[in-house]
């Protein structure tokens, strides 16, 4: 007997591969249902401070009493754990349990490889599969916020994450320079095309040399969340595994102003 090509409503039946993706998204949604807000920290430009922003936002939110998870989704170059002086490894057996760091649940692909210096090479379809397995098999439990440190660029890894997860939206990070702003506007364009909200823009390494943050916010018509000044303490503290926003009052205040806008508090 020939298989029906239409649904009961007379609409064409979706291709099995599309049904598989829909099923996968459904499983992921159920798995992550204990997480109230999922926020991606993103920019197409490398080195602007995405990881710095993710770490400091996560620990500041935690210090304000929120339950927070922090995911290093930079699958090619995972370095978030270095900012936290963490060297825990996970066996790789499912389920994956994020590691507690002063109350924040942290997970990184770096925890699954023995040699951090060895290059990790993922190819297109593997990235999507790995990311979805990662999420389907991680026990985050109940969280107010999951902060996701996304890799730079517009390649498979950020795309897979955006497509698989129902993110609340992106926080875009730029530096004051026009060239960084142009690249960040590009990432915003991608987000818009994929119907992901832009929660706002942070200008990092602000030194008065430009107005990149405002330029991005104007162009993408989204909120300007605030600036984080260039401060040598970032390097010093991050290199010794300490969180600048928690250790330094001035830096903490800058992040607090931004967080108030994110949480609406
Ligand atoms: N406001 C700041 N003042 C001074 N140094 C900073 C500031 N923000 C970040 N840095 C430093 O800049 C460097 C790059 O930051 P970071 O690794 O967070 O960028 P990134 O966007 O995540 O990079 P990548 O694209 O490689 O993932 C780090 O050494 C960090 O300590
Ligand atoms: Mg980074």
Residue range 28-65, pLDDT digits in tens: 888 899 999 999 999 888 899 999 999 999 999 999 99
Instruction: Tell me the pTM.
Output: 0.91
- pLDDT tier at 1 (50, 70, 90 boundaries)? low
Residue 210 Cα to ligand 2 midpoint, Å, equals 22
Residue 115 pLDDT: 59
Of ligand 1's atoms, which has the minimum distance to the CA of residue 173?
21
Is the pLDDT higher at 142 or at 16?
142
Q: Give the integer Cα–Cα distance in Å for 139 and 136.
A: 9
Residue 112 pLDDT: 78
Residue 210 pLDDT: 96
Residue 87 Cα to ligand 1 midpoint, Å, equals 20
The residue to mutate among 51, 158, 254, having the most atoms of ligand 1 within 8 angstroms of its beta carbon, is: 51
Is the pLDDT higher at 131 or at 228?
228
Number of domain units in the chain:
1
Is the pLDDT higher at 113 or at 177?
177
Residue 175 pLDDT: 97
Of ligand 1's atoms, which has the minimum distance to the CA of residue 83?
31
Residue ID of nearest Cα to ligand 1 atom 3: 230
> Helices 124-136 and 156-164: crossing angle, nearest 10°?
40
List CB-based neighbours of ion ligand 2 within 5 Å.
Answer: 50-51
Q: Give the integer Cα–Cα distance in Å for 248 and 102.
A: 17
Q: Residue 32: which of 112, 127, 125, 98 has the closest Cα? A: 98
Residue 207 Cα to ligand 1 midpoint, Å, equals 14
In this predicted structure, the answer to whether residue 119 has a pLDDT above a threshold of 60 is no
1 belongs to a structural domain:
no
Q: What is the mean pLDDT of the chain?
A: 89
Of ligand 1's atoms, which has the minimum distance to the CA of residue 233?
4
Q: Is 71 helix (H, G, I), strand (E, B) or coil?
A: strand
- pLDDT tier at 100 (50, 70, 90 boundaries)? very high
Residue 122 pLDDT: 57
Q: Is 259 helix (H, G, I), strand (E, B) or coil?
A: helix
Residue 263 pLDDT: 95
Residue 15 pLDDT: 81
Cis, peptide link before residue 80, omega less than 30° from 0? no
**Residue 154: CATH number of its domain:** 3.40.50.300
Residue ID of nearest Cα to ligand 1 atom 29: 235
Residue 3 pLDDT: 62
Mean pLDDT across 156-169: 80
Question: What lines the ligand 1 site, CB under 6 Å?
Answer: 46-52, 74, 152, 204-205, 228, 230-231, 234-235, 238
Residue 12 pLDDT: 77
31 belongs to a structural domain:
no
In this predicted structure, the answer to whether residue 67 has a pLDDT above a threshold of 70 is yes
In this predicted structure, the answer to whether residue 116 has a pLDDT above a threshold of 60 is no
Residue ID of nearest Cα to ligand 1 atom 16: 49
Q: Residue 79: which of 103, 124, 113, 45 has the closest Cα? A: 113
Please, which residues have CB within 8 angstroms of residue 179's CB and are 6 or more apart in sequence? none
Residue ID of nearest Cα to ligand 1 atom 15: 49
In this predicted structure, the answer to whether residue 2 has a pLDDT above a threshold of 70 is no
28 belongs to a structural domain:
no
Q: Give the integer Cα–Cα distance in Å for 208 and 259.
A: 22
Domain residues for 253? Answer: 41-263
Mean pLDDT across 197-209: 97
5 belongs to a structural domain:
no
Triad 154, 37, 73: Cα angle to 5°: 35
Q: Residue 85: which of 67, 68, 99 has the closest Cα? A: 99
Beta strands of the chain (E only): which ranges? Answer: 35-42, 68-72, 99-101, 104-108, 143-149, 169-174, 198-206, 224-229
59 belongs to a structural domain:
yes
99 belongs to a structural domain:
yes
18 belongs to a structural domain:
no
14 belongs to a structural domain:
no
């Amino acid at each position: 007997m020939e298989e029906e090509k239409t649904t009961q409503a007379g609409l064409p039946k979706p291709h099995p591969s599309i049904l598989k993706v829909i099923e996968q998204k459904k499983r992921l949604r159920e798995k992550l249902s204990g997480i109230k807000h999922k926020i991606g920290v993103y920019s197409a430009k490398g080195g602007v401070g995405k990881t710095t922003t993710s770490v400091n936002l996560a620990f500041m939110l935690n210090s304000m009493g929120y339950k927070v998870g922090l995911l290093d989704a930079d699958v090619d170059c995972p370095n978030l754990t270095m900012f936290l002086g963490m060297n825990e490894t996970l066996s790789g057996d499912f389920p994956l349990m994020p590691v507690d760091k002063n109350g924040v649940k942290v997970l990184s692909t770096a925890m699954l490889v023995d040699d951090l210096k060895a290059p990790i090479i993922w190819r297109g379809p593997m990235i999507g599969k790995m990311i979805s397995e990662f999420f389907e098999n991680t026990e985050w439990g109940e969280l107010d916020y999951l902060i996701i440190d996304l890799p730079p660029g517009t390649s498979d890894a950020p795309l897979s994450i955006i497509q698989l997860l129902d993110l609340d939206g992106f926080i875009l990070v730029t530096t004051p320079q026009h060239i960084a702003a142009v690249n960040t506007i590009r990432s915003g364009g991608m987000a818009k095309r994929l119907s992901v909200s832009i929660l706002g823009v942070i200008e990092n390494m602000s030194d008065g040399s430009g107005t990149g943050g405002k330029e991005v916010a104007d162009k993408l018509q989204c909120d300007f969340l605030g600036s984080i000044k260039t401060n040598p303490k970032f390097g010093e503290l991050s290199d010794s595994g300490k969180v600048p926003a928690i250790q330094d009052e001035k830096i903490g205040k800058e992040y607090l102003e931004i967080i108030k806008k994110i949480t609406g508090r």
